[in-house]
Amino acid sequence: MTSSLGTVLVTGGAGFIGCELSRALAPSADRWVVLDNMHPQVHASPDTRPERLAAEAELVVGDVTDATAWDELLAQVRPDVVFHLAAETGTAQSLAESNRHASVNVVGTTQMADAFTRAGHDPAHIVLTSSRAVYGEGLWRRTDGETFYPPQRTRAQLEAQQWEVEGAEHVPNAAAVSFPAPVSVYGATKLAQEHVLSAWVGARSTALSVLRLQNVYGPGQSLSNPYTGIVPLFSRIAAEGRSIPLYEDGDITRDFVFIDDVVSALVAAAATPPTGLPRTLDVGTGVRTTIRDLAETVAAMHAAPAPEVTAQFRDGDVRHAACDVAATTAALGWTPQWSMADGVRALQAWIDEQNVPAGS
């Protein structure tokens, strides 16, 4: 079947987002090749091909940090489009495993660039999945209208339960307005990915799209990965009849974006590559949700006890994260379709189908 996408390479393409993307696009690509190291933190059965990976996908087990793996792959594959999804995730984990995150996220990206140079091949378009973590605490506005960027909240502030920035409110992040200032190693490595690829394509004929994703969730998420996200975590706790613990005061906010909306944004980005400079777009719902609201929604679905505020906190966590998707809608003709309540309901139905023993 002929497709405008041609041959597609997806790094990290056997993971959550990669599998769902393959189900949407692989059948219409000339060739769909996945490079993934099948890390056991993500894959409960690393030796087993993921069930949700499209049948048309060619799975190549290899590591993006391995130059030999790249050379062997590019000797056989000349991708027209590259979805660069491979990354170590986890804000808190990145503080304890900084080298691992930097190796995969930064060195893995430079290895990819060098491999294309050695192979003498420039893809037509690279689509990078970046993260809202690059913004850090983000842009804030005082009551008098003045905007500023607060520093990272210190351990002393968090221990004193000084959660908020007094006399100001968080402004939804937008790539054209908000200056990136990551406060986690993970966020710093994702921003480095953006910088590396932007510099590399500047000397090539390759277009670059950077999509900064908010908190992605939905069917297909790893249920064994402790860093997979709070939506499946909350679902599992409530399903066990336990009260969901709320960090800080429960009023942390996030933009929870359903996997189908993320996939449709990636599809739209691939279909309409930029014609000039690299573009950076935000992918979320544009709706701010407190973790309290999320927890209460999940608890109600299971008739679980009411969530409880614990005043616990995580180093490197930001207080608020939300985005403005107007620029993304204008550039891609894309709009999010899923509400938080509908998305959580769909995720929980899928979790129930997995028959995962409680507490596992």
Among 218, 280, 269, 276, smallest CA distance to 82 is for 269
Give the active site residues: 186
Strand partners, 8: 32, 81
**In the β-sheet with 7-11, what is the strand arrangement from edge to edge?**
57-61, 31-36, 7-11, 81-84, 125-131, 207-213, 279-283
HSE-CB of 327 using CA atoms within 13 angstroms? 17
Contact 74, 119 (CB under 8 A): yes
Contact 241, 302 (CB under 8 A): yes
How far is the C-alpha of 280 from the C-alpha of 262, rounded, in Å? 15
Q: How far is CA 332 from CA 213, 264, 266, 328, in A?
A: 15, 10, 10, 6
How far is the C-alpha of 350 from the C-alpha of 330, rounded, in Å? 33
Name the helix (H) or strand (E) containing 11: strand 7-11
Q: How far is CA 321 from CA 80, 100, 354, in A?
A: 34, 25, 31
